[in-house]
Amino acid sequence: MKVLKTAAAIAVSVALLTGCNDETNNYYPEEPTPETTNVKIGTYNLSFDRSSYAALVEEMRITAADQDALMEKWFSGTLTDDEKAVAEKIIQIRNVAAIIQTERPAVLLMAEFNNDGTGEDNEAIQGFRLNYLSVPQNALGSTSDEVELLEPIQFGYTENFATNTGLLSEFDLDRNGTIALPGDAWGFGFYHGQYAFGLLSQYPIDTANIRTFQDFKWKDMPGEANPVINNCEDENNPIPEGMTCGDEWYSAEAWAEKPLSSKNHVDAPIIIPTANGDKVVHLLLSHPTPPIFDTITENNKLLNRAEIKFWDDYISGNGSYIYDDAGIKGGIKADSSFVILGDLNADPESGDGYLDTIKDLMYNDQVNQLATHGVYAPSSLGGPECLATGECRAENWGTTYPDVVTSTSGLRLDHVIPSHDLNITDSGVFWPATFEDGRLMMNDDRVGSWGGGGKSVSSDHRLVWVNVEL
């Protein structure tokens, strides 16, 4: 954590900021040098799932001065109801930015960072960079009376990615007799771009060699089949008229077009300068659907399994069936370095999903297992405390590894899985316990309507990272 201790340091920081309010992707004061050997790579579900993309853009456009003015009124208790709604969004975004400034990843996957659906509009991600990440945040939390400013953080390279969430299909996917959002989108969402993800990097992103798999069809994965109705006598979830127990859920036409990825699957190479020349590391990005909310089929549970199995096949030489959106077939080359990043919505020991699938990925021979279930598995002190105090979901209290949980569900859902050839020297989950600095970024009962935890104050997920020594 880098903290600005003096007024002079703050002045220098402000002077730097006056020169970086541009739309280019080629300026970053923290540019790595060829001598750089340690690269912190992280994933963070930010919980920025607003009611519209425009709403997120508007929040990200709020200047630091206007944020400060609203926060002064929040501290004094003089906000109108409309101002309070905006101020609480600012509190959340500032806390998320402070967490990023504290951990200072060089590369970060941001899940639940809404976009325009196609990934072409960068207004929100640019506003986040300039009005929040490039501004010193409070290391003690944005609602703390005490102030300890963090050093801003710059990311010279960003990417947004198209998503299937909120992308309306032409089929009645939820079998309710109409075709409408969110139930008939290829990925659940109330508008195209909700729950999307983006990438921040201090290293060049090899955009010419990015592979996306948004259109890869679920039916084209070996062993997968159209989900069937298997919950047949549930009065709370009746079988749709005209269908019977055991019927395939999707029509033949819908199943033929159904994408595997609920958002997208992306292989984004980054180029890292080292003493021995440039090193390419492939970032394998996704955010599978949660294996819950099923009614009369196991649709979500089956899809979560398939979305995770995609990466297992992609890295292990079993991906000859895979094709990307450009029509290129096959998985990653055998000698490639990679890091699988994302909220995979899967815990290898607990939860509602197919546990063997995420476990297979974490135990894959191509994976550095010290970082998945060994001494460098990311951990925190806040996770065990969350379970012990009841802030985390009670049914997961009995987990055998409370130190590695990554969300207030009490499950290990967020993963950073490096390839076996990468040397991991450190890792962590940013989750301060009550006796550590930054606790107000996790919980402040003055914020929001649900006791000031989770998405009210920052996110219901935690930033997870590993350090790669090259």
Whether the Cβ atoms of residue 404 and residue 383 lie closer than 8 Å to each other = yes
Contacts of 265 (CB under 8 A, 6+ apart): 212, 213, 214, 216, 284, 285, 286, 307, 310, 311
3-class state of residue 160 by DSSP: strand
Query: Which helix H or strand E contains 254, and what residues bound it?
Result: helix 252-257
What domains appear along the chain, each with residue ranges and CATH number? 7-469 (3.60.10.10)
Q: From CA 197, how far away is CA 43, in angstroms rounded? A: 10
284: amino acid identity, one letter: L
Per-residue confidence (pLDDT) for residue 196, from 0 to 100: 98
Per-residue confidence (pLDDT) for residue 460, from 0 to 100: 96
Contacts of 371 (CB under 8 A, 6+ apart): 377, 378, 416, 417, 418, 424, 427, 466
Whether the Cβ atoms of residue 427 and residue 466 lie closer than 8 Å to each other = yes
Whether the Cβ atoms of residue 305 and residue 357 lie closer than 8 Å to each other = yes
Find the distance separating the first CA and the last CA of the chain, reported in whole Å.
21
C-alpha 10: how far from its chain's center? 30
pLDDT tens digit at each of 470 positions of the chain: 787 754 444 444 444 443 343 343 444 444 545 565 799 999 999 999 899 999 999 999 999 999 999 999 999 999 999 999 999 999 999 999 999 999 999 999 999 999 999 999 999 999 999 999 999 999 999 999 999 999 999 999 999 999 999 999 999 999 999 999 999 999 999 999 999 999 999 999 999 999 999 999 999 999 999 999 999 999 999 999 999 999 999 999 999 999 999 999 999 999 999 998 999 999 999 999 999 999 999 999 999 999 999 999 999 999 999 999 999 999 999 999 999 999 999 999 999 999 999 999 999 999 999 999 999 999 999 999 999 999 999 999 999 999 999 999 999 999 999 999 999 999 999 999 999 999 999 999 999 877 788 999 999 999 999 999 99
Burial class (CB in 10 A: 0-12, 13-18, 19+), 80: exposed
Q: Read off φ and ψ for residue 67, nearest 5 degrees.
A: -60, -45
Q: From CA 450, how far away is CA 333, in angstroms rounded? A: 47
Whether the Cβ atoms of residue 262 and residue 165 lie closer than 8 Å to each other = yes
Q: From CA 259, how far away is CA 265, in angstroms rounded? A: 11
Q: Read off φ and ψ for residue 128, nearest 5 degrees.
A: -65, -40
Say if pTM beats, i.e. exceeds, 0.85. Answer: yes
Q: From CA 68, how far away is CA 253, in angstroms rounded? A: 53
Take residue 349 and report the two structure tokens written for it. 């020991």
Per-residue confidence (pLDDT) for residue 5, from 0 to 100: 55
Whether the Cβ atoms of residue 156 and residue 31 lie closer than 8 Å to each other = yes
Quickly count: other Cβ atoms within 10 Å of residue 49's Cβ: 18
Per-residue confidence (pLDDT) for residue 4, from 0 to 100: 74
Per-residue confidence (pLDDT) for residue 449, from 0 to 100: 79
Whether the Cβ atoms of residue 418 and residue 338 lie closer than 8 Å to each other = yes
